[in-house]
Structure 1
């Protein structure tokens, strides 16, 4: 009797190895949810590796970002390259109603530098709404509706960012449990971080100099650069996957006068680098001119650059 039970247990265990976990239809449906295709109005995305020349004309002005949920597109540049402006333009496109060329979705802006000007976002939204709406009364209503979709989170150190990301993931899980239908809860499709390197040197100081032991917190657990960015990368990936959102992050480059703008300076820890799937480097060839140049660093596209300028309501591609 016991031998029969053992044989049956072995048979069931062997069957478990060949029992499918999901059908092909389930697989494609699951993968489709992880693919983010989001309009951003960023002109340099017209030349991203995912844009094919034959489709370029019909997509002109869209500036679509195509990534897997949880992956990051990094925008690098010095202080004068309008990185925050790029994030605000993408956020405006995300929160605007579809009738004004937007996505009618929520955007979450994680501010690390305390340099965001909310009035600039209002100016961008108001200009775009006026361009597509003739009635001032309906325009003000659309402006309020768009601003309600914009969520601002201020982080005063990297630990604040980790806590905010944990809270974001938890809130999404709770809202999903309370309202299983995606139509009944806010759809957050874009997470923006400005900037991911804001506290790099502060956290690096906890590692000490060569040969020194890292400082320790009261719980006798090491606090250092690697651990902080591992926590940021892990929580940002989980939060974005839970939301099904794309991530845009800026990174400030410290380049001395006359230095090579293609050099990205001190690299962020590997945990963050593994999360970045696309990287654009911005530079301003002429400090006195309103013209910026974007070039792809990841994946690399040698000899290809894209010129654009900042206007009142958009980023305009230049010839």
Structure 2
């Protein structure tokens, strides 16, 4: 340090305490899925806290695995309900968390970005599922719900949701890099990723002075962000067959290493909860001696912090429904559960 300016630049804070707290103090995102949220887990050790705060229902509801900074991978064969699970998570996460008129939808008011690599995302099903949740919440509120609340909640919830259709793994990388730039304030996305200044917070995370619902203004929980990627390995075999010496600009190791770095940055720097699905050819693929073995490059495997394995259940269900079992691979001590995929969503 040769000058006073050098010394001042060295001791200058990289961010204020307020900005750090806004970035760090983000609650888990509720999914509404028992095997993800872990309903009932840890209640003995937290019984005293729950008794002390028994008026706060959201504390019990947001025990979940979707904690900012974590990367959850859901693995299963084709048709095991992976896309339906992501659709349910997206619907629940984007719903308004709480309102002054007594309407409680059990949502998280989260900004949600859905990257569709498989082309299986059913937009109409997502909209129908979300609308039904809103209708149920308004009906439970009864006379307390003012007229027009259903349409208002629907519009507000949909404004926080973005779908990105990926046709190659490089499209996934572009989308993640754009998210990093938008959430970091490097570019103005103009609300493309569900974060508008009118919703209580600007694209750079600073507070907005106008607009937004009462539940969003001044509430750090409204800064919850969720990134969902359906079938991260959709282009794996194509990319593997098109290595650099066959004309591809990047080999498969570099592509998945870049994806892992970008997702870890979104999870840590921007406090986003990441959920990624991955298709396998069979229920036993990757299992060796009862332990899961990933077929993706090691850089990707090291980035994943949580993993759920899906398999079919022998439970009898109605025609057109699918019954499955969710088992936690990482961490192993978490309890999984059964679920059923229906036209109305996931039933646990």
Change (3 A) 1:86 1:107: same
Shift of residue 240, structure 1, vs aligned partner = 3.5
Match of 2:198 in 1: none
Who is 1:181 aligned against? 206
CA contact 1:128–1:313 (8 Å) conserved in 2? no
Paired position in structure 2 for 1:215: 245
C-alpha spacing 1:117/1:79, structure 2 compared with 1 (3 Å): same
Alpha-carbon separation, structure 2, partners of 1:72 and 1:142:
29
Deviation at 1:63, TM superposition (A): 6.2
Contact kept, 8 Å, 2:71 with 2:267, in 1: the verdict is no
TM-aligned CA distance change 1:272 to 1:312, over 3 Å: same
Query: Could you say which structure has the larger radius of gyration?
Result: 1
Unaligned runs of 5+ in 1: 1-7, 10-14, 208-213
> What whole-Å deviation, never above 9, does each CA across 1:102-150 have from its counterpart, x for those lacking one?
1112100011011110011111111111111137742123222211211
- Aligned pair count reads 290
Q: Is 1:308 aligned with 2:339?
A: yes
Give the equivalent residue in structure 1 for 2:297.
269
TM-score by length of 1: 0.75
Deviant stretches of 4+, over 6 Å = 19-22, 56-60, 256-263
Deviation string for 1:168-218 (max 9, x for gaps)? Answer: 1112223599756245698451000001111111111134xxxxxx51658
Structure 1's 63 and 123: CA in aligned 2 closer, same or farther, altered over 3 A?
farther
User: Which structure 2 segments of 5+ residues have no match?
Assistant: 51-56, 98-103, 140-144, 189-200, 213-221
On the 8 A contact 1:112/1:193 being kept in 2, the answer is yes
| Equivalent position of 2:105 in the other structure | 100
Q: Aligned-residue CA RMSD in angstroms?
A: 3.8
- Secondary structure of 2:28's counterpart equals strand
1:204 corresponds to 2:240: yes
Matches within 5 A, 1:62-141: 62=62, 64-69=64-69, 71-98=70-97, 99-134=104-139, 137-141=148-152
Question: Do the aligned residues in 2 keep the contact of 1:41 with 1:64 (CA within 8 Å)?
Answer: no
Q: Secondary structure at 2:119's aligned position in 1?
A: coil
Q: Distance in 2 between matches of 1:200 and 1:75?
A: 16
What SS does the aligned partner of 1:159 have?
A: helix
CA distance in 2, matches of 1:314, 1:239: 28
User: Tell me, what secondary structure is at the counterpart of 1:295?
Assistant: strand
Q: Tell me the SS of whatever aligns to 1:243.
A: coil
Q: Closer, same or farther in 2 for the Cα pair 1:298/1:259, shift >3 Å? A: closer
Structure 2 CA distance for aligned equivalents of residues 178 and 38 of structure 1: 20
Q: Taking structure 2 as the reference length, what is the TM-score of the superposition? A: 0.70
**Contact between 1:41 and 1:62, CA under 8 Å: does it hold in 2?**
no
